Amino acid sequence: MILLLTCSQMLFAQGKLSKDERMKWWREARFGMFIHWGVYAQWAGVYHGHEQTRGGAEWIMNRSKIPVAEYQAKAKEFNPTSYNPDLWVKMAKDAGMKYIVITAKHHDGFALFKSDASKWNIADATAYGRDLLKPLAAACKKYGIKLGFYYSHAQDWNNPGGAAARKLMREGWANPDSTQIDAYTQAHNGHWDPAQETATFDQYIDKVSVPQVKELLSNYGDIAVLWWDTPTNMTDQAAQKLQDVLKLQPGIITNDRLKRPNFPGDTKTPEQKIPSRKDLDGKDWETCMTMNGTWGYRTKDTNWKSTETLIRNLADIASKGGNYLLNVGPKPDGTFPQESIDRLGEIGKWMKTNGEAIYATKANPLEEVSWGRITSKEGPTGTVLYLTVFNWPKDGKLEISGLENKIQSATVIANKQKLKFEGNTIVVPSQAPDAIASVIKIEVTGKIKAKALEGGNMKSGALD
């Protein structure tokens, strides 16, 4: 019998995978793409002509309390014939992203892959009729992009026994039966349809969740990330069963959402916000954020963040030692919204010039500055500081607060222009090279020596 091992399994067998080695690529990547996609894209935030009033479009089944039979019947129409995973991955790569995490199964329980554990999957329940993840895995391998899977391990609104968050009807779409539905939901641990309760939570874990995670970690080559989400009703016993499956991919990185506090994973996951400096505890972290206001595709959500905000968020996150997982919600036909495509292209142009200020950098070792953000890299004889300037100085002088090392050189990355400096002050041109964020590369002697920092003085939240 021939035993085929993934690269990570071979490394594990050789005893070469410490946590730092597993995390090395992730800490250098700094930038990835989140993809929220499923049959909820068909609803696009609208149920029976009523606009979903709260929550992301991917929550429409729960928020509007759509019956299981109706939701599954709608899925039969799901046929994303314009799905082009090669194009998706190339757009991510061209944007400067190093990894992709896709919703292999979101809270509605719908699997984007062929599954023997549940017929509620893309191959068996839709007109499309075939696995969506296999060609995506092939495209990621082709372009050198790491692939990760989001998996809703506890919440599942279609597979019997799955958990359901107790979101009331009035938070989604109010209809004449909302009072009755709310009462049922409160009395039935979040469920609103008897079809959801024909199995126990433990049966769901054993018959759906654990087997599907095994499928994901066995059938798609090397998987870089397993992104758990919402441990609703989770027990330590159930979490351990899922944790044990990770042995199939010894090099995998997981987040902190399997079951708190006893299963912390490798990374912390602030959502839709950027932590302040005072809130950082030295652990690896990744902020996931949307480009507009929703994770899944929604026709009425036109509140798109500007490219300036997205790029400055990236610089802000890198300056605090974190990763930026930026979301795209594809349309039901399998294409990205044009607004997402435009922003990915614009970010890519900036990253092509300035990516060295983001990739493989460490957090700002100095004081906060009013004009932008700072990242750093240590070398054998000195340190490189990257000054990402948002507010170009009108007086032509850029001061680096708190630096005690001697500056050796200062260079504008965009045009390689050498700049003069005096002490900690850099003399800059009258015009910023980039209207959004200009990067100046500073080389200094030795490791950074800085004056004592005042904790917690970085602005919290995204740069909206």
**Higher-scoring residue by pLDDT: 167, 453:** 167
Q: What is the pLDDT of residue 449?
A: 80
What percent of the chain clears pLDDT 90, i.e. is strictly above it?
87
What percent of the chain clears pLDDT 70, i.e. is strictly above it?
92
In the CATH hierarchy, which fold is given to the domain comprising 7-357? TIM Barrel (3.20.20)
Domain with CATH 2.60.40.1180 in the chain: 372-445
State both tokens at 303.
Answer: 């509140």
Read off the pLDDT band of 394 (50, 70, 90): very high
Q: Whole-angstrom Cα distance, residue 328 to residue 351?
A: 18
Read off the pLDDT band of 459 (50, 70, 90): very low
Q: Whole-angstrom Cα distance, residue 184 to residue 190?
A: 8
Mean pLDDT of all residues in 289-301: 96
Answer whether residue 43 shows pLDDT above 60: yes
Q: What is the pLDDT of residue 318?
A: 98
DSSP code per residue over 334-376: SPPPHHHHHHHHHHHHHHHHHGGGTTT-B---S---SSEEEEE
Q: What is the pLDDT of residue 2?
A: 40
Answer whether residue 235 shows pLDDT above 60: yes
Main-chain dihedrals φ then ψ at residue 22, nearest 5 degrees: -65, -40
Read off the pLDDT band of 222 (50, 70, 90): very high
Least confident of 1-5, 374-378, 419-423: 1-5
Compute the half-sphere exposure of residue 106: CA atoms within 13 Å on the CB side of its CA: 23
Answer whether residue 4 shows pLDDT above 80: no
Mean pLDDT of all residues in 329-352: 98
Mean pLDDT of all residues in 103-114: 98
Return mean pLDDT, the chain.
93
Main-chain dihedrals φ then ψ at residue 344, nearest 5 degrees: -60, -40
In the CATH hierarchy, which fold is given to the domain comprising 372-445? Immunoglobulin-like (2.60.40)
Mean pLDDT of all residues in 452-457: 44
Is the bond into 261 cis (omega within 30 degrees of 0)? yes
Q: What is the pTM of this model?
A: 0.94
Q: What is the pLDDT of residue 372?
A: 98
Q: What is the pLDDT of residue 54?
A: 82
Mean pLDDT of all residues in 255-265: 97
Answer whether residue 15 shows pLDDT above 80: no
Answer whether residue 254 shows pLDDT above 70: yes
Identify which of 222, 210, 163 has the alpha carbon closest to the alpha carbon of residue 188.
Answer: 163
**Higher-scoring residue by pLDDT: 3, 263:** 263
- The runs of H, that is alpha helices, within 2-132 are 7-13, 19-29, 40-43, 60-63, 68-75, 85-94, 122-125
Read off the pLDDT band of 296 (50, 70, 90): very high
**Number of other residues whose CB lies within 10 A of the CB of residue 136:** 24
Answer whether residue 114 shows pLDDT above 50: yes
Domain with CATH 3.20.20.80 in the chain: 7-357
Read off the pLDDT band of 462 (50, 70, 90): very low
Identify which of 328, 326, 342, 343 has the alpha carbon closest to the alpha carbon of residue 297.
Answer: 328
Answer whether residue 169 shows pLDDT above 80: no
Read off the pLDDT band of 14 (50, 70, 90): very low
Residues 6+ apart with CB under 8 A from 431: 392
**Number of other residues whose CB lies within 10 A of the CB of residue 303:** 10
